Amino acid sequence: MPTKAYQCGSCYEVHEFYHEAESCCQPTIDEGWSCDVCADFHSEKEDAAKCCIGLVKTKAGETVQCPGCLRDQALMQLIAEIEVTGHCSECNPHYSSDEAFKIADLVDRRIEEHVEQQLG
């Protein structure tokens, strides 16, 4: 879930606490949200929730084994690839245009579900 963050208006360093950003360069402070995965700053909470969603792990402990390389995959993007094509991009990164669109659609649907849960 995205965490509240404060960005220094001069050097753009992101801080966890308002007073840290306030005392950083003594500028105006931009209030927003920080992505939990990469810590990038976003002005909107929904943007922070969507930032690295393809890199978000699925529900705790849920993995899918790739039939191609036998790796247990827990990332949303890789699981979608396995479900659509029968293999992940770590063992075979080649997909047809149709497969790529199906993977993207599936990931988009899961992103929306995930964001609704986060913001909901």
The answer to whether residues 77 and 54 touch, using CB atoms and an 8 Å cutoff, is yes
In whole angstroms, what is the distance from residue 88 CA to residue 72 CA?
A: 10
Residue 119 main-chain phi, psi, to 5 deg = -90, -20
pLDDT tens digit sequence for 9-40: 888 899 999 988 888 887 678 899 988 777 88
Please give the Cα distance from 107 to 29 (Å, whole number). 34
Give tens-digit pLDDT for 99-114: 999 999 998 888 788 7
What are the CA-CA distances from residue 28 to residues 11, 22, 44, 72 (Å)?
Answer: 11, 7, 18, 46
Position 119 scores a pLDDT of 72
Q: What are the tens digits of pLDDT across the range 36-82?
A: 777 889 999 888 877 777 666 665 567 889 999 999 888 888 889 99
Predicted TM-score (pTM) of this structure: 0.56
For position 120, what pLDDT does the model report?
62
pLDDT of res. 61: 60
Q: How far apart are CA 50 and CA 45, in angstroms?
A: 9
Q: Which residues contact 64 (CB under 8 A, 6 or more apart)?
A: 72, 73, 74, 78, 79, 82, 83
